[in-house]
């Protein structure tokens, strides 16, 4: 049923739960799995222009975090039967935009995202990347809630 699955990852417990589901689906369907990490734009645009070291430190930390998230997913894929895993990193884009663009470019027929399961005021204040992806995606989206132990 699914041929190309896009997994949005940020290295959080919620995305680890999503990764387990996406890997199981990829194995079941013999699908290619793309693990996508989106690096948000540098948050201190005015400061970064005056201090390039701040920008470099931000990008270096983001690249390390992305590499660790991808390594964790790769390790999960090695437990059990083989999964055709591809990793991607998208930079200078908001998470929702990067996920949707990545799915389009990859020709994905399913997007898997994690959700922290926030509700009420915290959800309104923090927003929900998963909800934005669900609302804007042209392909099905599977939202995996974080394990209760990680909340």
Q: How do residues 60-78 score in pLDDT, each as one tens digit?
A: 999 999 999 999 999 999 9
Q: pTM here?
A: 0.86
CATH code 2.170.130.10 for 4-150:
no
DSSP secondary structure, 66-87, as one string: HHHHHHHHHHHHHSSS--EEEE
CA distance 108 to 41: 24
Using the CB atoms, write b or e for 46-84: b if 16+ within 10 Å: eebeeeeeeeeebeeebeeebeebbebbeebbeeeeebe
Query: pLDDT tier at 117 (50, 70, 90 boundaries)?
Result: low
The residue ranking higher by pLDDT, 91 or 44, is 91
Tens digits of residue pLDDT in 33-52: 999 999 988 877 665 455 66
Strand arrangement, sheet containing 110-115? 84-91, 32-39, 4-9, 110-115, 141-145
101: CB partners within 8 A, 6+ apart: 90, 93
Angle formed by the axes of helices 95-106 and 129-136, nearest 10°: 40
CA distance 26 to 112: 11
The domain spans of the chain are: 4-150
């Amino acid at each position: 049923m699914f041929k190309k699955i896009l997994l949005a990852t940020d290295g959080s417990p919620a995305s680890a739960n999503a990764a387990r589901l996406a890997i199981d689906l990829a194995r079941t369907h013999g699908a290619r799995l793309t693990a996508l990490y989106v690096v948000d734009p540098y948050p201190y645009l005015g400061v970064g222009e005056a201090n390039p070291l701040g920008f470099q430190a931000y990008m270096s930390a983001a690249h390390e975090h992305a590499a660790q998230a991808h390594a964790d997913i790769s390790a999960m894929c090695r437990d059990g039967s083989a999964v055709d895993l591809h990793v991607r990193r998208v930079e200078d884009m908001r998470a929702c935009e990067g996920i949707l663009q990545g799915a389009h470019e990859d020709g994905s027929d399913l997007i898997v995202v994690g959700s922290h399961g926030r509700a009420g005021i915290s959800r309104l204040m923090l927003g929900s990347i998963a909800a934005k992806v669900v609302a804007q995606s042209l392909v099905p989206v599977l939202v995996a809630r974080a394990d209760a132990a990680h909340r």
